[in-house]
């Protein structure tokens, strides 16, 4: 579905990505792991053109989409749950969900307010509240719900369980498993190796702006020593 | 001072305040959402007034003139955003001030070349040329009442647009998280053009409606622009509610000060001295009000959430 070929990007004179190759097939869950500053979030920003790539290609459904503006990338069917949640603080919970909502591109089960409230009943209770008054966990649920309301084909999750209490974290992981079971394609950045191993189909590890390791759960178990070295500080 | 005269002056103040609100609404939205200082906002007011005067003169219909003024100001606004303003969002405020000051000079000169330096005259619509007897002994021009009515309707419409429409939600979301709004599939640049065009349309509406009360002339936009900035600073930058309250406060304060202060000073000063002191103080009044408001609330009366 999504394919990056030798993608490079950076901030001004500072190059961060040095030729990232990555593929996410339809229905697959792929991880992007690596220590802080290795280029995970930058890769995501480059995919959605929140950052202009300096080289390489992006393909979606086999079609080259490099250079499309952010909103057109999103309208291909990509939705982002950004690092740090970034809900709209001055909008109510309901408004956060409705503001950027879109019907699905193809027929199938559609996410609407009721479906999101079904997934996160707590958001229904808080629907009239301003998003800035929510707890961190509730804001995370809202950011996920907001992305689902665009009815994406590919969901990109950037550190979606970071800084949450264990109970909330478990709730979020349960939600991800339901999304996977429903067939949603997911690209996920997270630090929790144990949860990721159980959850994802394939894994990729970044170091210094490149993908340096890729493989499935079995390969990950076999190569555990080396990977722990790549992932820990 | 007779009570009726006081009521009449309050109404004049409200009418002036409504004009200021129409100007301030666009300016405060553009500043609050796009973080852009637009000195050329007064040019859209002038464009609205000129197009209204010309179209009304040619067709004999004020309504046609008004429509021409509104459409022209909105189109000119959207074109200016597309051609010039878009390049300024990511630059600092000094660049924005310089560039939009350049636009003022450009529009003033363009109007002079196209329509000459002489002011144009615009008659109020025949339907509203009379007076309405509000209270026994208090006739008040129907046209000024209509301006107040239009202002209230616009305030209500803007409230509904910003608070209760999808576009309004996106506008508010874009004020704090522009990137995320785009990454969720909204063409935020188009939204910016729409907001800028809407602001220009409201300025054009103010210009077209003021035509019959003041003369339509080059530089008319700059006179009201300064007061408009005072309004949005008092109201809280980015807040439509603040723009409304600030505009009415400035309009009524300015109008009443010009009428009441000469009377007050006349009570204990000789007439010529009283007139001089009162005139100076009256023109300072709104700035004194602004200073007091800012001492009390440094971010204005209704600071925009998230700004």
A170 in a structural domain: no
Return the pLDDT at A163. Answer: 86
A179 in a structural domain: no
Rounded distance between C-alpha atoms, residue A120 and residue A118, angstroms? 6
CB A79 within 8 A of CB A154: yes
**Domain count for chain A:** 2
Closest-CA distance, A100 to chain B, in angstroms, reads 6
Interface contact A147, partner B, CB < 8 A: yes
Tens of pLDDT, residue by residue over A140-177, are 999 999 999 999 999 999 998 888 899 999 999 999 99
Closest-CA distance, A232 to chain B, in angstroms, reads 30
Residue in A75, A89, A147 nearest the CB of B306: A89
- CATH code for the domain of A31: 3.40.50.300
Is there a contact between B305 and A90 if contact means CB atoms under 8 Å apart?
A: yes
Residue with tokens 């961190």: A136
Return the pLDDT at B307. Answer: 39
Residues A218 and A159 in one domain: yes
Is there a contact between B185 and A98 if contact means CB atoms under 8 Å apart?
A: no
Cα A196 → chain centroid: 13
Structure tokens given for A102: 């879109």
Return the pLDDT at A45. Answer: 94
Searching chain A, which residue's CA lies closest to the CA of residue B186?
A71
Residues A117 and A212 in one domain: no
What value does the mean pLDDT take over residues B168-196?
93
A173 in a structural domain: no
Under the banding of pLDDT at 50, 70 and 90, the label for residue A37 is confident
pLDDT above 50 for B306 = no
Residues A143 and A218 in one domain: no
Residue in A70, A73, A86 nearest the CB of B177: A86
pLDDT above 50 for A73 = yes
Searching chain A, which residue's CA lies closest to the CA of residue B190?
A71
Among chain B, residues having any CB pair with chain A shorter than 8 Å are: 166, 169-170, 172-173, 175-177, 179-188, 305-306
Residues A208 and A113 in one domain: no
Which one of B180, B188, B191, B241 would you mutate to disrupt binding with A, by most A Cβ within 10 Å of its Cβ? B180
Residues on chain B touching A99 (C-beta within 8 angstroms): 166, 169-170, 173, 181
Residues A221 and A202 in one domain: yes
Closest-CA distance, A217 to chain B, in angstroms, reads 31
Please report the sign of the dihedral spanned by the C-alpha atoms of residue B214, residue B280, residue B278, residue B1.
positive
Return the pLDDT at A96. Answer: 96
Closest-CA distance, A107 to chain B, in angstroms, reads 19
Under the banding of pLDDT at 50, 70 and 90, the label for residue B33 is confident
Residues A158 and A43 in one domain: yes
Cα B252 → chain centroid: 14
A180 in a structural domain: no
Searching chain A, which residue's CA lies closest to the CA of residue B307?
A90
Residues A2 and A65 in one domain: yes
Backbone angles phi, psi at A191, to 5 degrees: -105, -15
A88 in a structural domain: yes
Residues A21 and A126 in one domain: no
What value does the mean pLDDT take over residues B174-190?
93
pLDDT above 90 for B131 = no
A202 in a structural domain: yes
Picking from A129, A152, A175, the residue at the C-terminal end of a domain is A152
Cα B246 → chain centroid: 11
A176 in a structural domain: no
Searching chain A, which residue's CA lies closest to the CA of residue B191?
A71
Closest-CA distance, B77 to chain A, in angstroms, reads 24
Return the pLDDT at B290. Answer: 94
Is there a contact between A100 and B186 if contact means CB atoms under 8 Å apart?
A: yes
Mean of per-residue pLDDT scores for chain A: 91
Picking from A94, A127, A152, the residue at the C-terminal end of a domain is A152
Rounded distance between C-alpha atoms, residue B137 and residue B10, angstroms? 16
Tens of pLDDT, residue by residue over B36-57, are 999 999 999 999 999 999 999 9
What value does the mean pLDDT take over residues B137-159?
92
Mean of per-residue pLDDT scores for chain B: 91
Among A59, A44, A36, residue whose Cα is nearest residue A9: A44
Backbone angles phi, psi at A126, to 5 degrees: -100, 15
Is there a contact between B181 and A100 if contact means CB atoms under 8 Å apart?
A: yes
Residues A158 and A62 in one domain: yes
Longest CA–CA span in chain B (Å) reads 69
pLDDT above 50 for A8 = yes
Burial class (CB in 10 A: 0-12, 13-18, 19+), B184: buried
Residues A209 and A160 in one domain: yes
Under the banding of pLDDT at 50, 70 and 90, the label for residue B132 is confident
Among A16, A20, A38, A34, residue whose Cα is nearest residue A189: A34
Least confidently predicted of A14-28, A104-118, B281-295: A104-118
Residues on chain B touching A95 (C-beta within 8 angstroms): 169, 172-173
pLDDT above 50 for B89 = yes
Least confidently predicted of A16-30, A159-173, A213-227: A213-227
Cα A109 → chain centroid: 20
CA angle A132, A135, A136 (to 5 degrees): 95
Backbone angles phi, psi at B176, to 5 degrees: -110, -30
If you write DSSP's letter for every residue of chain A in order, what string do you get? -EEEEEEEEEETTEEEEEEEEEEE-TT-EEEEE--TTSSHHHHHHHHTTSS--SEEEEEETTEE-TT--HHHHHHTTEEEE-TT----TTSBHHHHHHHT----SSSS----HHHHHHH-HHHHHTTTSBGGGS-HHHHHHHHHHHHHTT--SEEEEESTTTT--HHHHHHHHHHHHHHHHTT-EEEEE-S-HHHHHHH-SEEEEEETTEEEEEEEHHHHHHTHHHHHHHH--
Under the banding of pLDDT at 50, 70 and 90, the label for residue B2 is confident
Task: Name the A residues in 61-80 with CB < 8 Å from any B CB.
Answer: 69-71, 73-75, 79-80
Task: Choose the most confident range, by mean pLDDT, from A108-112, B57-61, B173-177, B195-199.
Answer: B195-199
Rounded distance between C-alpha atoms, residue A169 and residue A101, angstroms? 25
Residue in B169, B175, B182 nearest the CB of A99: B169
Judged by DSSP in three states, B213 sits in: coil
A43 in a structural domain: yes
Under the banding of pLDDT at 50, 70 and 90, the label for residue B263 is confident
Residue in A86, A95, A102 nearest the CB of B180: A86
ipTM above 0.85, yes or no: yes
Picking from A110, A130, A152, the residue at the C-terminal end of a domain is A152
Domains, chain B, ordered by start? 10-120+136-296 (1.10.3470)
Rounded distance between C-alpha atoms, residue B2 and residue B90, angstroms? 54
B20: Cβ contacts below 8 Å, ≥ 6 apart: B224, B227, B228, B231, B247, B250, B251
Rounded distance between C-alpha atoms, residue A151 and residue B149, angstroms? 43
Residue in A71, A75, A98 nearest the CB of B169: A98
Return the pLDDT at B5. Answer: 85
Residues A159 and A142 in one domain: no
| B85 vs B2 pLDDT, higher one | B85
Domain that holds residue A69: 1-77+154-165+185-233
Residue in A69, A74, A95 nearest the CB of B184: A74
What value does the mean pLDDT take over residues B212-228?
91
Rounded distance between C-alpha atoms, residue B165 and residue A100, angstroms? 12
Residues A115 and A53 in one domain: no
Is there a contact between A89 and B175 if contact means CB atoms under 8 Å apart?
A: no
Between A and B, how many residue pairs show a Cβ–Cβ distance under 8 A? 71
């Amino acid at each position: 579905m999504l394919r990056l070929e030798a993608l490079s990007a950076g901030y001004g004179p500072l190059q961060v990505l040095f030729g990232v190759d990555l593929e996410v097939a339809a229905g697959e869950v792929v991880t992007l792991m690596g220590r802080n500053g290795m280029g995970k979030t930058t890769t995501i920003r480059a995919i959605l053109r929140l950052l202009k790539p300096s080289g390489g290609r992006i393909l979606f459904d086999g079609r080259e989409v490099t250079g499309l503006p952010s909103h057109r990338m999103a309208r291909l069917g990509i939705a982002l749950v950004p690092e740090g949640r970034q809900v709209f603080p001055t909008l109510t919970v309901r408004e956060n969900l409705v503001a950027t909502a879109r019907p699905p591109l193809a027929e199938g089960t559609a996410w609407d307010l009721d479906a999101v409230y079904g997934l996160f009943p707590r958001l229904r209770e808080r629907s009239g509240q301003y998003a800035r008054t929510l707890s961190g966990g509730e804001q995370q649920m809202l950011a996920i719900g907001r992305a689902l309301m665009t009815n994406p084909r590919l969901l990109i999750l950037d550190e979606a369980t970071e800084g949450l209490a264990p109970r909330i974290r478990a709730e979020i992981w349960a939600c991800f498993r339901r999304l996977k079971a429903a067939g949603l394609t997911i690209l996920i950045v997270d630090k929790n190796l144990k949860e990721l191993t159980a959850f994802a189909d394939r894994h990729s590890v970044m170091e210094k702006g490149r993908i340096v390791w890729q493989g499935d759960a079995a390969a990950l178990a076999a190569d555990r020593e080396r990977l722990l070295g790549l992932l820990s500080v | 001072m007779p009570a009726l005269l006081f009521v009449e002056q309050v109404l004049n103040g409200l009418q002036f305040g409504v004009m200021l609100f129409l100007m301030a609404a666009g300016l405060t939205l553009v500043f609050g959402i796009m973080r852009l200082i637009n000195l050329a906002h007064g040019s859209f007011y002038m464009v609205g007034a000129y197009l209204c005067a010309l179209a009304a003169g040619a067709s004999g219909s004020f309504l046609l003139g008004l429509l021409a003024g509104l459409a022209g100001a909105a189109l000119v606004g959207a074109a200016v955003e597309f051609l010039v303003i878009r390049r300024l969002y990511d630059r600092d405020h000094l660049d924005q001030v310089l560039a939009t000051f350049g636009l003022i000079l450009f529009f003033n000169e363009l109007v002079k070349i196209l329509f000459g330096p002489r002011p144009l005259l615009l008659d109020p619509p025949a339907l509203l040329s009379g007076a309405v007897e509000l209270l026994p002994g208090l006739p008040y021009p129907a046209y000024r009442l209509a301006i107040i009515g239009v202002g209230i309707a616009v305030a209500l419409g803007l409230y509904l647009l910003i608070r209760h429409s999808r576009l309004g939600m996106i506008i508010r979301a874009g004020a704090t998280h522009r990137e995320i709004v785009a990454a969720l599939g909204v063409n935020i640049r188009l939204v910016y053009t729409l907001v800028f065009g809407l602001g220009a349309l409201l300025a054009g509406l103010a210009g077209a409606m003021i035509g019959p009360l003041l003369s339509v002339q080059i530089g008319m936009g700059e006179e009201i622009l300064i007061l408009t900035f005072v309004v949005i600073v008092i109201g809280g930058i980015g807040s439509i509610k603040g723009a409304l309250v600030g505009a009415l406060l400035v309009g009524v304060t300015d109008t009443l000060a010009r009428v009441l202060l000469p009377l007050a000073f006349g009570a204990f000063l000789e007439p010529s001295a009283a007139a001089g002191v009162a005139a100076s103080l009256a023109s300072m009044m709104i700035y004194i009000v602004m200073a007091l408001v800012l001492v009390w609330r440094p971010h204005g009366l209704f600071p925009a959430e998230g700004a």
